[in-house]
Structure 1
Amino acid sequence: MALWTRSILKHSRFYPSIASSNNRLIQNRPENSTVYYDFTNNIHTTQSFHKKRKTAEERKAQSALQYPPKAKGDVIDVWRNITAGELAGIFQRDVKYVSDLFLGDIRSRHTVITDIKELQNAIRRSGKRMRIIAKPAEEESQVEDKDAYPRPPPKKSDLKFRPPIVTVMGHVDHGKTTLLDALRHSSVVDQEFGGITQHIGAFSVQLQTGAKVTFLDTPGHAAFSAMRARGANLTDIVVLVVAADDGVMEQTVESIKMARKAKVPMLVAINKIDAPKANVERTEQMLMQVGIQVERVGGDVQAVHISALKCINLDQLTEALVLQAELMEIGGDPSGPVEAVVVESRVDPHRGRLCTLVVQRGTLKKGDVLTADTAIAKVRLLRDSNGQILDSVEPGYPAEVEGWKDLPPAGALVLEVESERRAREVSKFREDKKEAERLEEDAVAISAKMEQHEKVYKERLQLKRRLGRFKLRPEGPRKPEIPEGDNEPFINLIIKADVDGTLEAILEALSTYHSKKCKMDIVSYGIGAVTENDVELADTFKGIIYAFNVDCPSRIQQQANENSVPIQHYNVIYKLIDALKEDINERLPPKQVEDVVGEAKVLQQFLINDGRRKVSVAGCHCEKGILKKNLQFRIIRNNETIHEGTLSSMRYLKEEVDTIKSGSDCGLQFADKSLLFEADDKIICYEHKMETQTIDWDPGF
């Protein structure tokens, strides 16, 4: 700026008007401005550079933040795939300090830092330098264990009698729920859809003898194997229900294996003895073949022949149950913190998150604080299986608990803690533990990916060195930056179920889908009624909402209709799977198939005059089906196809025809007149048809 101004003043004798105007302009110019002279328009101008300097300073500061200069401070040792928590320990600061060094990209102490360049820039921001070393040997974890655990087993003197927990297991439609209805004088079976149990139920029954028994009713359908396993692990006695007309079936064998794995005594109830095709002896022989030897044939397993529908011999079954419970001396400790097991959990639109559990130790009361997995609850209300409000629940009894902040998973261990603060501490510790395990799995996958990338990089590096090049030419055509649309058929699902166990069974059935004909993605799943968020997800992903035994509010249904989002309601699991198969089949494009219409055998080749040249004609005998002139023909010689094409002429005797029936001789002339035929050549007549595809998916039931 100064040089430009001095130059103008130096030559002012040549431009007096410029000098005089410059003196005035320089004296009166604004601060932080430059004087410019426009020779074309003969005017002087000033331009401020204060704004430009400020913008440059901001840019410089931002650049220094992103690319800090080389530090001259202390050297710290780091290693590859270091976590944010480990780096915070090296700095002897908290994780927030590390997150600030990474410009807020760190979300938890378990975050793995894989980018070495970003790590180097972050350490420079701290004013230190880094040195990469091998990861030191892991020492014993110093993290305080804040989890909650069950108490040691109680002393025998502390045990008091409690009702035995009896699980009724067996094949689907063998009468398990009908038996329980007969024992507690109810009609649960009338409320079931499709005649099968799809939930695991827990209820207390007082027998005619006055004894109380807690029954667990497990589904017999193949899709609910996880529910049966939970029932077997929770129970004291297993009642295996086998229909006398069907005998031992697939789920019967599975139930026997689960009971043996849980190491619980078993009692067999041979049901439907009044059925027309009942054969008790055959059923007992089938039981013996799978390792269950009943007392009548010299074994040690009690077997009672009953009819649950007509209440035949039910008193004998209850007596056998009570006797087995007395022999086992079943007892529970009603004192101290509560320990229980989640049987089922669900969401009620009016009462919120509910959980059915069976108390194993302690006495559950209103106001108790519970933890189950990462879910916590302060007991607001207790109800029995009939909906009656309970004051307390002792060991061996089931109850439905209100007051859960999150739904606990079925089968989770429920523990009582002293306060809500302690419950949140336990939940946070378990969440962190799960996150650490997940990140550890991700780190293994990332490491494998990096090794694969490094292997490919080294191979290409060696190839470049051998060729003496700095850069290799790209292999094949250049890939488009924006991939073209994929025309592969797909289906996106949103699953809503009534209880956790049923949702688990549906997801397990869907996990068996591995067909390549149509891609299937589960966008979302959950428990409870269909929500507005479900409809929005289905609209975004062009998905279908499958609602299993749950309601859809009228306003949500109206929103779905406006957005053309299909909502399908089902209450039987195999009907849901069948409907899903149909929806997938509708998305599959028809495929072209070849339909063979007829076959002929060449007997002899004839040469006929066609103008001035000779043309070959195949003298044939039609062996199968019919030959049609307007269809496609294939010539096979020595099991190899030598020609495919159409006919120009088809004759029977001397007449031109369109069709030749089986058993008739004919002459065939192809459109390709250069063909030569040999005896025993096979000629196939076929046509292409569009056929509807079906999905090749077997969920196992």
Structure 2
Amino acid sequence: MGNKNLQKQEESRDSAESGSIYPPVVSVLGHVDAGKTTLLDAIRKTQTTAREAGGITQKIGASEVEVDHDKNKRKITFIDTPGHQAFANMRSQGVNAADIVLLIVSLVDGVQPQTKESIKTIKESETPYIVVFTKNDLPTANIEKAKQQLLNEEVLLEGLGGEIPYISVSAKNGEGIEALLDLILLVYDLSGIKKDAQKDFLGIVIDSKLDKRRGVAVSIVIKQGRLVVGDKLYDSEKEVGKVRATVNPQSKNVKEALPGDAVEILGITKVLPLGTLLHKKPEQVLIQSQQPQPSQRAIIKPQDFLSFLRDEKKQELLIVLKTESYGEYEAIKNSLPEDVEIVFYGQGDISVSDIILAKDFKALAIGFNVKITDEARDLAKNEDVFHKTYNIIYELLDEIKDALAGLTEAVEEKIQGKANIVAVFEGTQEKIMGLKVTEGKMIVGAKVKIYREEKLVGESRIVTLKRAKESVKEVSKGNECGATISPFIDFQVDDVILSHRKD
């Protein structure tokens, strides 16, 4: 029996490698009472018949389930531990442990403050996500209200002007759980995410603790490459230990781990922070081996802020900031405009990890009274990451403010369409505006600004467009249509509506 199971595991490994079908890694975010833990428990319960074969225990900060999908056995790895803050900590290392995020929204409580924080975190990470409505078995469940609240947070669901998939489930009676697992695999397959066991190894720490009996136990997700017992591991340029054992989510020792796997490793010499990136080579060697030839990439001139921002089509200014002292950081932070966000701060020279982070967030790498290492400078050139260092605080602040002002002007010019409100109708649930498009086009899901006598009344988003009672996705110049918006603004006849591009 044991030999047959071992043979099946080897066949599964061979199939994964030949077809590059590695399991997606899924993280779960949402409000504290939205039902995240209950949902994970329900997912595990659907796998109770497979318990002997493995896939449902929760020993290492992650769970693994096996799913029948399109007549194939597929695996999904769930990260059990991170909330939105831990998820953000992982992102601050320049790599996201998860391939897909489940945004959990209770149909009873709707969108809560922590839901909004989770939405912001997901959008910043640019990770594919699925909205999972929970508690649909309760009498007070209200899915239409929850959808409207998400729309107000610019989460555009399928069928409501966007492409974000969603599903309604009940962790209590199991409704929708199997369909959710199928949806996860579908989104993953369509995402184009590529994993390669032949690439340089990269793992990310999702849990780390000191066990009195076993020593330091570190749980990691494999992003690329493979991990084998006996491998030496490095965080940046320092060796952190040699792998003497790898344990899978079923608490079984395994000889190797492949992309998408979550394993606990023993042999690490210290407790590692959540989000630490692990390699098999020192970071400096990795960067040198992965760099393309300089002639293959355009090099950004570090002096031209606005050119860089416009090329990246950015509408906000994000900064990775390194200073010599904390007092300098405080002075800079308190002097920056409100539209500038520091996504990471540290002391010391700008390093390779700072450039990786700036690339991930499409941010500027800025230093004050510090230098940039040669390795970081080379990586920044090859990855088109903007960097610059200063010794005079006013020069830093003035250049950022000038760039932000120029960026704002550029964004304001990106008008997609213009229409006049020629009529107002009372719908069954909301007011409908009758529009005549005078410039460009109106598009479902687009942001709009409504003006009255050249004064801004408010900002909203187009939810529906109809022509001759037929729903349409866009209406071009010279045509008339009916439109609804959300959030609601008290519009009136002769108001002007401007539609903006979704850059």
| TM-score computed with the length of structure 2 as normaliser | 0.47
Greater strand content? 2
| TM-score computed with the length of structure 1 as normaliser | 0.34
Which structure would you say has the larger Rg?
Answer: 1
